[in-house]
Every structure is written in C-alpha cells, then in structure tokens.
Structure 1
Amino acid sequence: MEFYIFFYKDLLLLKERLSKFLSSALVAPLLYLAAFGLGLGRRLRMEGLPYLDFLVPGIVAITAMTASFSGVAINLNMSRLYSKTFDAYRVSPIHPFSIVVGHALAGMFRGAVSSLGVVAAGLLFGARLELGASFWLILLLSTLVFASFGVFAALMVDSHEDLALFNTFVIFPMSFLCGTFFSLSGLPSFLRGAIYMLPLTHSSLLLRHLAGGKAADATSVLILLGYAVLFACLSRWALDRCYR
C-alpha cells in the first residue's frame, strides 16, 4: 500500500487546484465539440452515426490521453528536476515500483475526472451515448495506459523542454491521426496499419463502439492491456536508471 502515499498527495494537490485543472484540461475538448459538434452536428454522418455521436467518444479518448499524460508527467518532472523532492524517494525504504504505481494512479484519476467532464458536455450538446460499465472500464484502462506513459516520459527526460518533445512528436500527432475525428477506413492501407499500432486508436475505437451499443473488440482490449504492462515495465526500468 506504499503507492497510496503518492496517490493521496496528488489528490490533496488536485483538491486545491481543481478549478484551474478542469478549466485547463477542458478548454481544448470543448472547443473541438463546439467547432466540429455544433458546426457539423447531425448534418454529417460517419460510419453510420451522426457526426456528433461519432465525435464525442473520440474527444473523450483524446482527453483521457492528454490529461493522464500531462497530469503525471509534468508534476513528476518538476519534482525530479527542479524541486528535488524526488530525491527523497530515492533514500526512503519505499519500494520503487510503488512510486510508479502511485503516480500512474494519480494520472489515471486526473484523466478520468477530465474525461467525465467531456462526457457530460457531449450529452449536453445532444450526443446519444450508451454509457455502460464496459465504457467506463475501457476509459479507466485508457487513462492507465497514458498515465504510465507519462511516468516513463518524466523519468527519461533531462529537462522540461525535453518533456515537451513527447507532446510535440507523440501526443499531439496521435490526437488527430488515431480515428478521433474521422474514420480510418479511407486511409491508405500502409498508413492505416501504422495508425493501428498506436494505443489511442484502440482507445478511440473501443469507446466509440461501446458508446454506440456495440461489443468491445477483444483484440483492441488486449492491445491496450499490453501497452499498460509495457509502459509500467518501462517506467520501472527508467526509475532504476534514475537511481543509478
């Protein structure tokens, strides 16, 4: 239960800054909803769905990714490189993997809270979504994947500027390429194959299928689980690297 220390610390910080966190996390998703959802709305159909119903799960997936990644990566990066509070972990008897788990859970929580706000906004905009238990479980799995990736990124970089490169070359391109705003069926096969290797693609597809009342694709679920395990292992390796 050592991981709870880090999770609880982040909860206390989030409680103090909740309004600022939500406002910054929801600005871009709400702009996407307003620009694409209201602009195109139900006049356009995508994969047999009104575009708004197609769009909202994609924006939820983007929000889960960005809020989970940034929520943990920025805080951990600052504590490791600037405030130096991370150094206290290194000399404590806390198991290293508890550090990874605690920060990943904190990122998950931030991503889930932000995504819940987008779901609520989508419903207010008129999207028709079936929000069963499977939808929320996949959403939590998605936040775990990208929170774990955020831990790995924060432990690998040597400056705040280097962390921005992850956003520029990984997070930002995935936001627009992974079937969040448009169907992947019209893409060239070689490009579609590359995009299907990215985790946000499967997060977006699963959330859209479940919100539309369809069953979750088992392959996509396994791929997300695989990414969660991979990023957790990479985070542990990166933490050991910091300890040396």
Structure 2
Amino acid sequence: MNLNRINLNNLRVGAEGAYAILWSDMVALRRCLLNYLIATVVAPLLYIAAFVFGLGRDIQMDGQSYLQFVIPGIIAMTAMNSSFNGAGTRLVIDQIHWRSFDEVLMAPIGQVWLLLGKALIGVLRGMVSSVAFLVVAAIMSPGFHIEPLFFISLLLCCLIFSFLGVLSALLARTYDDMIVFSTIFIMPMAFLGGTFFSLTYLPLYLKYVIYLLPLTHASICLRSSLLGQTVPDASLFALVAFLTLFSGASLLVLRRKDA
C-alpha cells in the first residue's frame, strides 16, 4: 500500500512538473491565439488553392474527389510542421539564445517528465492548428467522418513530430542546424509522405522508401478515418513505433547531455 502511494505521488509530482513546463507556452499561445490560428490556416488553404483548384476539382484520387483526398494529408502536414517547430524551435532558442535550458535541467523533475513537458508544447500547437484547419476544411468539403480514431491518429502524429523536434533541438549546436534538419528531412517529407498523391501509382522501390517516413503513416491513418475507411493496423503500429523511437532517442541524448 505504501509503495502504491509513493508511485502515485511520484506520478502526480512528475505530471505537475510537465504541466509547469507547458504552462508558459499555454500563456504565450493564449495571448496571440487569433494571430496564430490565422497564420497556421493560411498555408494549408494556399496548398488547396494551388493543388486542388489549380489542377481542377474534377480529378479523382483513389475513388474520392481530389479535394477530399488531399485534405487529410494537409492536416497531417500541418500537424507535423506545427508540432516540430513548436517543440524544436522553442527548445533550441532556450538552449542557444536564452541559455535557460540548463536551469530547467536543475529543476526537481525527472528527465522523462521534462521531455514530455517540452514535447507537449509542440503537441498543443499541432492540435490547435490541425483542428482549426479541419473546421475550415469541413465547411469546404462536408461529409468527413470525424470519429475518435481520427483524434487518436492526430495525437500520435503530433507526439511523433514534437519528440522529433525535441530530439533535433537537443542535437543542434546552432540555430542553423535546426534549419538544415528541417530542410533535409521535414520539407521533403511534406511532399513525399502521401500528402498530395496516392502511393498506389508509385514504383515499388519508391514505395518502400516512402513507407519509412512517419508522415506517410500519419496521412494514411487520418485519411482512412476521415473517409470512413478501415484504418490499417500496420500504419497505427508504425506510428507507435516512431513515437517510441523518437522519444527514446530524445531521452538517451538528454541523459548524455546532462551527464
């Protein structure tokens, strides 16, 4: 009984520590929420204007209109960009510009909870951006099946790229390193991860490469759930695997950094 009480107390203290790290970003986001929503919705709408209205609304992709096909992919891409930048950019600024991250390391909070708090900053921004665009997209193309599995897939997507942002920030020595990482990995993933086209038409060897990208599986899960299709178990498992990989790697790098 005492051991259970100790574990529950440690869990409560850790959760409070993670929330304390997240709280400052919640306050900052609340102050500029309207501007943030406008900024995050504009870019996805530009993609729709360019790829849907530019190519033509009558194009069919995997049995759906191109508009219905591309919206879930753009939601996944929005979640990726907002989560990665929200967690990674904030952390690298704390490390390099403000040099306040070392003080956070001295706080009485476990490293797992510290990483979770830093990642939740990106998750919060990713969820807000994605849901805001989903509302606009549902007005443009009604008929999507918004169900719990969609939000589970979206949460996994935000967690994956938040921890990837944290990992890249911990590895970065300068802010330019973050820009290079984003240019080499994040930007190509946005266009190759099944966002704007169906993987059905790709050569087999290229499919193997694209299926190694976490955004591909996020797009598959979000698209399947929104279109009322069965979400592939393999893609859900891949999302959990990527989350485990990036969070575990972040913890390993942090422990080496704090040694």
1:141 to 156, 169, 183: 156
**Superposed, which structure 2 residues align to 1:36-185 within 5 Å?**
36-40=51-55, 42-185=57-200
Name the SS for the 2:54 alignment partner: helix
Name the SS for the 1:89 alignment partner: helix
Show the counterpart of 2:256. 241
1:223 and 2:238 aligned: yes
TM-score (ref. length: structure 2): 0.90
Q: 1:125-149: per-residue Cα shift (whole Å, max 9, x none)? A: 2253111111111111111111111
Mapped to 2, the partners of 1:36 and 1:60 lie a distance apart of: 14
**Cα drift, residue 124 of structure 1:** 2.1
1:206 and 2:221 aligned: yes
Show the counterpart of 2:30. 15
When the two chains are superposed, the root-mean-square deviation of aligned CA atoms in Å is 1.3
Residues 147 and 67 of structure 1: CA distance in aligned 2, closer, same or farther (over 3 Å): same
**Cα drift, residue 36 of structure 1:** 2.2
Mapped to 1, the partners of 2:101 and 2:254 lie a distance apart of: 11
**Cα drift, residue 30 of structure 1:** 1.3
**Total equivalences in the alignment:** 244
Extract unaligned runs of 5+ from structure 2. Answer: 1-14
Mapped to 2, the partners of 1:24 and 1:243 lie a distance apart of: 36
Larger Rg, first or second structure (1 or 2): 2
Mapped to 1, the partners of 2:234 and 2:211 lie a distance apart of: 11
Mapped to 1, the partners of 2:67 and 2:50 lie a distance apart of: 11
**Cα drift, residue 151 of structure 1:** 0.7
TM-score (ref. length: structure 1): 0.96
Indicate the larger mover: 28-37 or 156-165: 28-37
**Cα drift, residue 199 of structure 1:** 0.5
Amino acid in structure 1 at the alignment position of 2:232 = D
Instruction: Determine if contact 1:174/1:200 at 8 Å carries over to the other structure.
Output: yes
Instruction: Determine if contact 1:53/1:127 at 8 Å carries over to the other structure.
Output: no
Mapped to 1, the partners of 2:250 and 2:32 lie a distance apart of: 27
Name the SS for the 2:47 alignment partner: helix
Mapped to 2, the partners of 1:166 and 1:116 lie a distance apart of: 26
2:204 to 189, 212, 215: 189
Amino acid in structure 1 at the alignment position of 2:110 = H
Mapped to 2, the partners of 1:94 and 1:133 lie a distance apart of: 32
Instruction: Determine if contact 1:41/1:52 at 8 Å carries over to the other structure.
Output: no
**Cα drift, residue 20 of structure 1:** 3.2
Instruction: Determine if contact 1:202/1:224 at 8 Å carries over to the other structure.
Output: yes
Q: Give percent identity, aligned residues only.
A: 38
Mapped to 2, the partners of 1:241 and 1:82 lie a distance apart of: 21
